[in-house]
Structure 1
């Protein structure tokens, strides 16, 4: 099973549209997980119409309309692994311990908010993944997203994809 992880799309304030490379990856994915800060319902509508399966949550920049359509935390079993999706996990310092306490029943937690790609393992084995942002790199060298292969209850390759700079 091929998963696409994304977050912090911030349309239309950070970009006018999602990058074509990301949309092509959506088309190839079995499941798309979006960790919040869509900021526009049109992005949710686009991904709902394009993805085979979409799992998403709202973020701190998402207004009432998105909050009515999306949960704060989402959970799903995918290919034998227990996934969770949330927008914010707090400061980087102590993140693994906090998430292990709050989400100890999961195998993988996908999160966003910082726009900083993250891949670590918490005490007890919880894998923490932040795909960064495909539209707003902030202080990072590239806009990013992740893909993850999952099979038979195990994570395969976790790949961070760097997107080319947007043309102005």
Structure 2
């Protein structure tokens, strides 16, 4: 299974539509996961034109998105348990990565996917893949925009970032 991973689109403030690099990167994926800060449900519609979409809400999302997706969830995809969280709550004084991990401290997972920081991250911690795709259209202090691809294989989960220079 191939999964597109996206977060922090902040549309329409940061971009009016999905960047062409995202459309290209997600062409042919089996599923798209959005990790919050969609800001408008229109982002869902644009992504759903590419593949089925699942996700969670972030701190900038309206009630419509919160009600539809919630703030935290665990998906079982193939044989893998994957936690989704934006990473903005509830642990004060912690980094986004730490908040994401603490959100699932009672759960046995293969991967934790999160956003919020707009900073791409790919690492293993205690046998769990930690993955932040960065931001698709609001790079802030990063040099490039980014999304991610997860490949679920019998041998494990492979993750990678796709970096690009234009949000057009």
**TM-score interval w.r.t. the shorter chain?**
0.7 to 0.9
Q: How does 1:4-153 map to 2 (within 5 A)?
A: 4-51=4-51, 53-88=52-87, 91-92=94-95, 95=98, 98-99=101-102, 102=105, 104-123=107-126, 125-152=127-154
Equivalent pair of 1:80/1:153 in contact (CA under 8 Å) = no
Contact (CA 8 Å) 1:79, 1:152: kept in 2 or not?
Answer: no
Distance 1:115 1:94, change over 3 A: closer
Is the 8 Å Cα contact of residues 86 and 100 (structure 2) preserved in structure 1? Answer: no
Question: C-alpha deviations, 1:98-142, integer Å up to 9, x for none?
Answer: 43862531110100000000112222x111100000101100010
User: What CA RMSD, in Å, does the superposition of the two structures yield over aligned residues?
Assistant: 2.2
Contact 1:99 1:122 (8 Å CA) reproduced: no
Gaps of 5+ in 2: none
Task: Count residues in correspondence.
Answer: 164
Gaps of 5+ in 1: none
Structure-2 residue corresponding to 1:164: 165
**What SS class does the counterpart of residue 27 from structure 2 fall into?**
helix
1:31-69, Cα deviation, whole Å (9 max, x unpaired): 111100000111112223431x22200000001111121
Q: Which runs of 4+ in 1 moved over 4 A?
A: none
Q: Distance in 2 between matches of 1:82 and 1:101?
A: 11
TM-score (ref. length: structure 1): 0.87
Q: In 2, Cα distance between the equivalents of 1:9 and 1:166?
A: 10
